[in-house]
Amino acid sequence: MNYLWAFLIGGGICVVAQILIDKTAITSARIMVLFVVIGVILGGVGLYPKLVEFAGAGASVPLTGFGNLLAKGVKEEVDKIGALGILTGGLKASAAGIMAAIFFSFVASLIFEPKAK
């Protein structure tokens, strides 16, 4: 049953993004930023962690999950070190994911040849 909920919740998030891409004039980059901001807001008020607990990777893998991770990191760092945690918390919490994205993008750039448009 966990797999089903992960699929439905994650798929639902992706469906919303696809509808925004297809039916609005909003650029893909702005939609991605919107999803991160929604994740930060829902994570900041405590709603997104409940969704992650319910849907697992279906909620934590999409960009809204990244926003939730940023909010969680900021909360933890503010509790530990005060106001400076606002600047450092999100980066500390998401450093491994950011590093993986950079590393694998670099590896892909070495393997594949770009095509001129």
At 18-30, the pLDDT tens digits run: 999 999 999 999 9
Q: Give the C-alpha separation, 78 to 80, whole Å.
A: 5
Name the residue range of residue 104's domain.
Answer: 2-111
Question: Is residue 10 a contact partner of residue 55, using CB atoms and an 8 Å limit?
Answer: yes
How many domains are contained in the chain?
1
Q: What is the pLDDT of residues 3-20, one digit of tens each?
A: 999 999 999 999 999 999
Examine residue 21 and state whether it is found in any structural domain, yes or no: yes
Q: What's the pLDDT score for residue 10?
A: 94
Asked whether residue 14 is assigned to any structural domain, the reply reads yes
User: Would 25 be classed as within a structural domain?
Assistant: yes
Q: Which residues of the chain have pLDDT under 70?
A: 117
Amino acid at site 89? G
Count each helix (H run) and each strand (E run) in the chain, helices first.
6, 0
Model-level pTM?
Answer: 0.83
Question: Which 8-state DSSP code applies to residue 47?
Answer: S
Strands of the chain, DSSP E: none
What sign does the CA torsion over 70, 2, 104, 116 have? negative
